[in-house]
Structure 1
């Protein structure tokens, strides 16, 4: 077996240790960011959690943790709490956008400048690249499917009748209405 430069450790084990150290080191490092709009700083990563402080737009914060759609932040005044990631812009995202790396800004902030994709909030590029489907969960979902015949017989047992619904006319331009 090929040995690593560390005496007594096989290459795979040394690689695993190096990867673990890299991941642990990344968790310790904080990232700076800026608040995009006035937003509450909450005590927990929940919308119903108590408000610790109010963050002002363009205020600089230190991002210390991420949990789903929330980021743990620390202000220059020393206040600590949780803010929605949608209301923050990381320094790395600003640098990527300034460098013309629009795709990188999608992973860093969830925004390409034209649309917001909240589905990837809280996920790193590495997590997205390494993602794989869970075939057991897909099989479980397939188990809930019913045949057309079963669905029709179920509908016939209830006082249901077929209704014809015309498609809505699609507006030109944006598919989203102004609110």
Structure 2
């Protein structure tokens, strides 16, 4: 499903964040030390290869809501934007910190003249953020940020399950 807001395409797809060859940047749901781990971070580091870990080390640690950018290495994407999402019920206020992830990633993308970016559902895995709430925060923030973007023309949400895809599509439809 896709929707165009102020000339920017927002789309939701089911798939693998490491297999998005038609976007310039993918977003990593990172840990504070930007190290390989489980979930999205593990998949991105595995696909990108060991050079990504080497490039990340001097950039760490990051705080919840922050975003940093690296090269894509062996990924089909030029860049990886790493965001540390909040741990639900731990990092407060989690809705503002989650919104900061999306806002800061989009700002970095625009500063680097990136035209397309793919996001996972940040914080919804081991960090425990409920998918419905996370989708509402993410898509609302993207919609609010679009008017300030000059270069980003496509924003994709890559969801891991049918359930997550349906939730994000419903929220996108309601924007």
What's the TM-score, normalizing by structure 1? Answer: 0.23
Q: Considering only CA atoms, is the larger Rg found in Structure 1 or Structure 2?
A: 1
